[in-house]
Amino acid sequence: MVKQKMNAGQGPAEGGVTASGKCRRVFLGLKTADSSKVRLMRDDRRDRLAATLLGTALGDALGLPCEGLSPRTIARRFGPIDRFRLLGRTGYVSDDTEQSALVAQSLAQHPDDVVACVRAFRRALFGWFCRLPWGIGKATILSCLRIGAGISPSGVRSAGNGAAMRSAIVGVFFRDQPERRRRFARALAEVTHRDSRAIDGSLYVAEVASVCAVSDENAPTPALLREARIVIQDEQLGRAIDEALAMADAGRTTDQAAQACGTSGFVVATAAFATFCFARHGDDPLKAVSEVVAAGGDTDSIAAIAGAWAGARSGLHRLPAALLDRIHDRPFGPSHLRKLAACLDDRARRRPHPVPGYS
């Protein structure tokens, strides 16, 4: 099945976060008396990496059966979004999770060399494409064909959300290295998407995940989203994010936000609607994801982003373990994602670790 994404014509120092209220900025790369905070942040890295990948899988698998459907159809056919419904009660992931895993694999192979990391991702993406994966978007298909033909650059002028949906793991892996985080996120996005909105959307998704991964647990979620907003340079995307946050502050309903933001695969709509749902329900991962899915549209990709952010924010203990256990444990399933998280953590600590493959 080909996912109908919107195209451009449619439209080693550790750093910290800033937020308002109870949230405070923590610069862990500078001299600080709060050494326990440094240790805590390092010790929970593996948990947040795993939670980001598994949160992606959760949103992807819950959203997949509802992709392209209207809210009314979803409500009539499925009722509450509280379990998997594609084939019985087993959850299945699609390109959102699989591409996130390929990004994680490439980061683990080359955590210090952006050129080599991009080369590895391009090669892995083409190999994955040759398996005829489920739910792949048009821009990614075209980019993979260009990779196979040896055309450079491989990315196309698309403002779809295919690059943004896989970007959260970059943010958590480089959560303490802002310059490297943004450089890798941009370069990896450009493998498939070269529209400025798609690139900024990828930077934003990575930045939100990074901010969430180091935030104080009492920090208000909207403040974290506003902190991440600084990476957006595109005026259209920035305005959409600001409007989504304003709607969340005003207590608008999910239906109202879905109408205002849109729920398509256009990255501006995707980023804005994910922002609204996460701002309203970021403390409850399942609620944040289910609100996205119930609104219809590009349910799996938007929910994958919201799930990744929720995992980065809360860690594994807040994700619904019973649902995660029901995701089909094939390649790119929970076991593989946990192995990738462990590998990334060891690579961040400069420990040797064989990079797990999916085949």
DSSP sequence for 139-198: HHHHHHHHHHTT-SS--BS--BSTTGGG-HHHHHHTTT-HHHHHHHHHHHHTTTB-SHHH
Per-residue pLDDT for 25 more than 60?
no
Q: What are phi and psi of 90, to 5 degrees?
A: -90, 135
- DSSP, collapsed to helix, strand or coil, labels residue 242 as helix
Tell me phi and psi for residue 62, to 5 degrees.
-70, -35
CB 357 within 8 A of CB 131: no
Q: For residue 35, name the pLDDT band (cuts at 50, 70, 90).
A: very low
Rounded CA-CA distance 210/351 in Å is: 22
Write out the H or E segment, with its range, that includes residue 101. helix 95-109
In whole angstroms, give the CA distance from residue 99 to residue 144: 12
Summarised one tens digit per residue, pLDDT across range 173-220 is 999 999 999 999 999 999 999 999 999 999 999 999 999 999 988 899
Q: What is the mean pLDDT of residues 40-62?
A: 90
Residue pair 121/93 in contact (Cβ under 8 Å)? The answer is no
Q: What is the pLDDT of residues 212-254, one digit of tens each?
A: 999 988 899 999 999 999 999 999 999 999 999 999 999 999 9
**Lowest-pLDDT range of 22-31, 80-89, 176-185, 347-356:** 22-31
| pLDDT attached to residue 9 | 38
Q: What is the pLDDT of residue 72?
A: 97
Report percent pLDDT > 90 for the chain: 84
Model pLDDT, residue 93: 96
Give Cα 19 distance to the centre of its chain. 21
